[in-house]
Structures are given as structure tokens and as C-alpha cells.
Amino acid sequence: MGFLTLSVVFLVASLYCAQVSSTQTDCPPGAEWSTCTGCGDYCPVKDMSCLAVCGSGCKCGSGYKLHNNRCIPKADCPS
């Protein structure tokens, strides 16, 4: 009976982890899901130090920078 209980607990835990990892992966235009978002890429460039703590979430994709909480093309960054 112990093996069956352990198997059920393992199965439930596996399904829970799969559900958690598949949520919140829809990102706004110009952004992509990342398991390590770091500090972000702002425009204009902010002069600030960064601790670069990894965390899952959306980040601006290649060729985009964060401006007013949106990812915009680098070419559209204000001077």
C-alpha cells in the first residue's frame, strides 16, 4: 500500500508542476517569455545598477527595448 500512495503523490506533484510551468507564458507584442528575465533593456538607457536576479516572466525580445512599460523597436526609442 505504501508504494501505491507514493506513486499517487508523485503523479499529483508532477501534474501540479507541469500546470504551474505552463501558465503565464503569454506576453504582449514585442516581448517573449523567459525563465530568467534579469534587469531589462530600457530606452533611453537608465543609469542604474542592476542585481540581475533571475525570475520567470516576459522580457523585451531581440531588437526591442522597454519604454513606458511597453516593448518598442529600438529605432523608436526617444533620444
8-61 residue pLDDT tens: 344 434 444 444 455 567 898 999 999 988 777 888 776 667 776 788 899 999
pTM over 0.85: no
Per-residue pLDDT band at 76 (split at 50, 70, 90): very high
DSSP secondary structure of 17-74:
HHHHHTSS----TTEEEES--TT--BSSPP----------EEEE-TTEEEETTEEEEG
Q: For strand 57-60 and strand 64-67, is the pairing parallel, antiparallel, or unpaired?
A: unpaired
- Could you give all domains of the chain from N- to C-terminal order, each with its CATH number? 2-76 (2.10.25.10)
Cα dihedral 58, 62, 66, 69 sign: negative
pLDDT in tens, 38-50: 777 888 776 667 7
